[in-house]
Structures are given as C-alpha cells and as structure tokens.
Amino acid sequence: MSHLHLVTTTPPQRPYEEMLKDHKKILQNYFDSYTARGLSATTKVGACGFIQRWFEKIRVPSADGERQLFIWEVMNLGAGRQRIRDFLLALSTVDDDNLACVRPTTARTYAGHLERLFLSTLEFPFIEGLQTISSKYGPIENPFTGVEYPIHSRDILRAERFFLSPEQILELLVFLREVYPGLIHRTSTVGRLYTIVMLITETGMRCNEFINLDALGLNRDIFYDKKVIQTRFGKGFNSSGFQTRLIPLTNPAAITLRQYEQEVRPQFCNHLVNPALFLSWNGRRLSYSAIQSCFTRLMEIARKHGLNLPPNLTIHDLRASFATNYIEAHPDQFWELMELLGHVSPSSTRLYIRSRGQKRWLTMKEARGPRVGKTGFGQMVYNTQERGYSRVGS
C-alpha cells in the first residue's frame, strides 16, 4: 500500500459536435436562471451575449486546426486560472496613448459575468438530467479562485462636489417650489420634480425604485398608515434579481406625497388608469431619461439664478447626499444607513458617504414650512410647538 501513487486520468476526447452540444446545454441552463430570477430582458441579452462571444472568440488547437473554447476547459483544475489571468491582463493592456483598452469598471463587469457563470455551474454541475460535467469531462473548479479583480469604482473616493449639504438641499427645495414654477411652462411637472427631490433627500431611494412606484391597484406601494414605502425594485446580490424592501416614510415626505397624489398627479393623463405614481405628460410611466433631462434643466436654471450648486451634479447624487448627511447626524448608525440604502455590502455604503469634517446643525423645516407656490400644492404651516404640519385654513 505504501507504493501507491495518485494517478490523474485524462477524459477521452469526444467528437466536436458532441462537445459543442454539451457546452451550449450548460450555458443554456445558466441563461434560463436569469428568467427564473426575474432579471430584465436587457440584462439577460447583455450578459448572455457577452458570455457566448467570449467562448467563441477564444480559439484552442484541435485535430482539424482550431476550435472555440468550452466551459469545462476553463473550469478544469489549474489551467483555467491561467486563462482567466491572461484574459484580465489583456483587458488592462495599454494602447499607444497610454490608456487601458477598457475602463476598470468595464473589465470588472466582464469578469463578474464570467465568475457568476462558473459559480452557478459549480452549484448545478449538470449537462442534462443527472449527468454531471465532472463525470464526462473531468473535475472542475471556479477559475477565479485566487485571481484579483480589476480596481472597482468603489475603491476610488468620489469628489466632494457630488454631495449637497443640508443647506444646499434646503436652498434647492425653496428655489424649486418658489421660483422655478414661474420660469417654465408646465407647473405640474415642477410639482412632480419637487416631490421626487423631496422623496430622495428624505429616504435615499434609488431612481429605479421611485420610478417604479405604483399609486393604484393591488400593487400600491405607499402606506401612510404604516409610514412606509414599499419598493419592489431594490437591488439584491449580483444577478439575484429585484428585491422587495420597506423604506420608512418621514413626515415631510408623507405630507409632500399626499399633496402630490391629491393635487398634482390628477393633472397628468391616464392618472386613473396607469398605476404609476410618477407619470409623464402623455400618461405613461415616467422614464429615467426624462427625469435626468428635467433635473439637468433644473440645475442649469438654478445656477443662473445664483444657487451654489456643484458642477456635474446628477439626480443620483441626491441619494449620496442623503447618505452623507444621515451619517453626519447619526455617526453611530452606519448599519441603519446601510439598511435604509438597501445595500447588501458595507463597501457599497462607504462609497456613498464622505465626512466633511464639520457638523450640520441647520434643520430643513423651512423647506416644508409655509409655501405659496405654483406647483399645485396647497400652503402648509409648520407648527413649532406641536412639531407638525397643517394646511392653511383647515
């Protein structure tokens, strides 16, 4: 028994057509999981297209010359890791202008597509029925084991300009409610934008989350009695599909949303038919591109009227502003902030916060106080003794 040695056997070579069929079957098993996880058609087309092309473009020698790479050849023990290293190295190759072929974030996206494929295949290592990949083509592993990813964008601190202080948010809200309605044609769209800005700065919601909120039907997402908003489009783990979560509804956000639903939303077409909380002027669910356009226009006009706003500010930066302002007001509540933002990783939350080195004592009561604007909202008064809001004349 002491003279026994470990013997590695090489699986027998099989016809190309048979291997290609098995390879495609394994990939299809993974692609089918995209639909089961509820991912969008756009996500599925992008990821699946890249994976298929990746295997087709990499050529390996064969009896007839060369052929495409098969998944078990990348996942075999040892050699597969070198293929992945070579691939990531090729992505970081510098051109004549001393710039990488692709950005680090793009390279990381490509690597993520592949690693999720390999992890899923390890979890469900079947070709068809109960026949496993290992029984036919030899043992497999995750070839990304021990391989370093390209630098992620979260490793690079965002500039201070992307964050608004409470004072700047207050100034923006006052301008949006008091001045902006007189500068554009459709005041109802101002009321809609005011509600969106208020909602993000009070709750930290993602754009994709508030765009997909419903106001009508069984899927209504706003619960004033429970003081929560339900979002069915929160992010989960990579490729895990949308996650449903509950977000606390603050009093200012609740008051603004009530007024919007009662006085502003009815001014849009299809408000009794389309369940979307935020509608476009033609009665469809508001798109992300439309929101970006409206916010960009607001920024341009606000700066012309003297507002101190950083350049290149996007609507998503309001979410980052919420995170930074929250952690400065509650420095011991990092995990609560992580839950509010809907993050599954602390590193994601750290990307959103940046200490400014000073405390912010100014409250935002002025922005929710008495306002007589043209946005379609009634006038509200903040009662400092009762610490609440009431409609003028009620």
Active-site annotation, residues? 206, 235, 316, 319, 343, 352
Spatial CA neighbour of 78 closest among 147, 149, 127: 147
How far apart CA 26 and CA 226 sit, in angstroms, is: 46
25's tokens = 């079957």
Spatial CA neighbour of 255 closest among 143, 382, 352: 382
Specify burial of residue 282 (Cβ count, 10 A radius: 0-12, 13-18, 19+). exposed
User: What Cα–Cα distance (Å) separates residue 193 from each residue in 14, 145, 190?
Assistant: 62, 47, 5
* 145 φψ region: left (φ > 0), alpha (ψ -120 to 50), beta (else): beta
* Cα-to-chain-centroid distance, residue 158: 17
Spatial CA neighbour of 239 closest among 352, 107, 344: 344
Spatial CA neighbour of 59 closest among 79, 82, 77, 83: 83
Cβ within 8 Å of residue 377, ≥6 positions away: 177, 191, 194, 256, 259, 260, 263, 264, 371
